[in-house]
Amino acid sequence: MKTFETERLRMKLADLDDADFFLELYNLPSFIKHIGDRNLRTKQDAEHYIKERFLPHIEKLGYGNYVVIHKELNKKIGAVGVFVRDGIEVPDIGFSFFPDFEGKGFAYESASKLKELVATNFGLTKISAMTSDENIASQKLIERLGLKFQKYVIFSDDNEELRYYEN
């Protein structure tokens, strides 16, 4: 499951060639506000992040973070992934897109396809998602994906209370 497609999008597993892309995406003000500052300041930081975080996850589980490419434009427009995280029993789905590509259905299109594929290929029928109270757009997308609000959670390395959803 290294790549997959939808009508408008192509998704590929993240790799070192995507360092510049993740450096830009992860430094968007909206990413930092809603997801967090990953402290990527240079291309080398992004390469290290991919090597230490993305690649081991992909190697171990066969899935992880996917770069979303707009087929017609042949342009990287965002990322979607399913992750196993410490402190969460159920793998969670996450997504982030450049502002010009938000609100156009790309996040739903890619996330719903990924959700379907991890269920079929890896037996992950239970998926979770988390977002802040103020991120209404993500809450709507998460609910559209079939997940329901369960509770609030706080991670030990972060003081922010997040909305936790499961299907």
Give tens-digit pLDDT for 41-93.
999 999 999 999 999 999 999 999 999 999 999 999 999 999 998 888 999 99
Give 143-154 as a DSSP string. Answer: HHTT-EEEEEE-
CA separation for the pair 80, 71 (Å, rounded) = 16
Average pLDDT score over the chain = 94
* Predicted pLDDT at 97: 97
* Predicted pLDDT at 156: 66
* Predicted pLDDT at 35: 87
C-beta separation of 4 from 69 below 8 A: no
Give tens-digit pLDDT for 80-101.
999 998 888 999 999 999 999 9
Share above pLDDT 90 across residues of the chain, in percent, rounded to a whole number:
86
**How much is the pTM?**
0.94
What mean pLDDT comes out for the span 28-35? 91
Interior/surface letters 39-68, b for 16+ CB within 10 angstroms, e for the rest: ebeeeebbbebbeeebbebbeeeebbbbbb
